[in-house]
Amino acid sequence: MSTEQTHAGGGPVKNDEAVRGVEAALLGPLLRSQVDDWLHRVLVTTLGTGLGAVLFREGRIDAVYGVEDSGGRRLLIKVHRPPVDLDARRVVAQAQHAMALAGFPAADPLAGPETIDGHVVSVETLLPHGERGNGHDPTIRRAVAAGLAEQIGILNELPDLPALVGRPPAWCRYQGGAWPTMHDPTFEIETTPEDLRWLDTFAQAASTTVLSTRRPDDLAVAHADWYCGNLRFSGGRLVAAFDWDLLTDATAVVAGITAGMFSAGTSAVATPPAPDEVAAFLIEFEETLGRRFTPEEQQAAAAGASWNLAYAARCDITNFAGSDVQPGSALDLLDRNRQEYLSLRW
């Protein structure tokens, strides 16, 4: 394929500038046309097709490309940030395929993870974009809660899956106490400001409560980052879920961790859920799941949500260094409602 990449309309690429951000970090100092030539090579190698057009390029951790192949199919190509646990990525692909077959709005993996020119890539179907949703809207909240319960039900049909799931991301790793190794080294956890030491104590208490109340005999597998930023909606209905990593834990803990973060990444409001929204999410999750949590499971779920909020608040300390705490942030909400979160029952 020539370095003069053409779009679907047949015209040459304009502004053939050097790639930046995550593209440059993963692929090196290349021009866009050079990256597009490489994407063509990926499609030839994995699917035996070619690149027709690049529809979009984005990504925070992985480099993500929406493309149309030479046959008109709309696909998503991911270049994964190293190091990559290939076994874990294969398990994610297995889970996505099962959900796609069941009609859940998850992309169906078509190829990969596969190493091409030293880069681990995956190719999957491109889902409809839909619209971003505001998780503080009760209609969107119900759709997110129901989507979590539905995916758990589908993945429960794969009884060997929980044992295969790899290590979850940092914001799900409460097992080590107050703080795990953070997902980004810019978030420093060694020194907590004196007036915020309560957060260390709170996170430790939440961790201890989860560990003492979770049911290890009731494991669920679900999206480890199930929040509005990774979801799209149409008419209040969930139509697409992106950026799949997996979490396996007790059902109540999975629901609780998600309840602590589901509203993040919304279009208009980026604040975490207030205590009453956490409780409402968990009630709606139970309704779709088809059963109520026991009192002990409610305690585990509330503690899971509290620990996840504490993790976000710990990130806020770095983000707000030298400035006022943002109203409605996790740090602000926990400072004002910490006991209410931890003692939530419904």
DSSP string, 281-322: HHHHHHHHHTSPPPHHHHHHHHHHHHHHHHHHHHHHHHHTTT
Given this model, what pLDDT does residue 91 score?
Answer: 97
The alpha carbons of the chain give a radius of gyration, in whole angstroms, of 21
Show the domains of the chain with their CATH numbers.
Answer: 21-125 (3.30.200.20), 138-342 (3.90.1200.10)
- How wide is the angle at C-alpha 301 spanned by C-alphas 300 and 306, nearest 5°? 95
> What values do phi and psi take at 219, rounded to 5?
-85, 140
**Closest among 242, 5, 107 to 19, alpha carbons compared:** 5
- Three-state secondary-structure class, residue 142: helix
Given this model, what pLDDT does residue 317 score?
Answer: 85
Residues 246/221, Cβ–Cβ less than 8 Å:
yes
Given this model, what pLDDT does residue 9 score?
Answer: 35
| H helix or E strand, kind and range, residue 257 | helix 251-259
Per-residue pLDDT of the chain (346 residues; tens, 9 = 90+): 333 343 333 334 456 799 999 999 999 999 999 999 999 999 999 999 999 999 999 887 899 999 999 999 999 999 999 999 999 999 999 999 999 999 999 999 999 999 999 999 999 999 977 999 999 999 999 999 999 999 999 999 999 999 999 889 999 999 988 888 777 666 666 777 888 899 999 999 999 999 999 998 999 999 999 999 999 999 999 999 998 999 999 999 999 999 999 998 754 445 899 999 999 999 999 999 999 999 999 999 999 999 999 999 998 888 777 677 888 899 999 999 999 999 999 9
- Three-state secondary-structure class, residue 203: helix
The span from the CA of 113 to the CA of 60, in Å, is 19
Residues 226/144, Cβ–Cβ less than 8 Å:
yes
225: its two tokens: 């980052």
DSSP string, 29-79: S-BHHHHHHHHHHHHHHHHS--EEEEEEEE-SSSEEEEEEETTS-EEEEEE
The span from the CA of 157 to the CA of 149, in Å, is 13
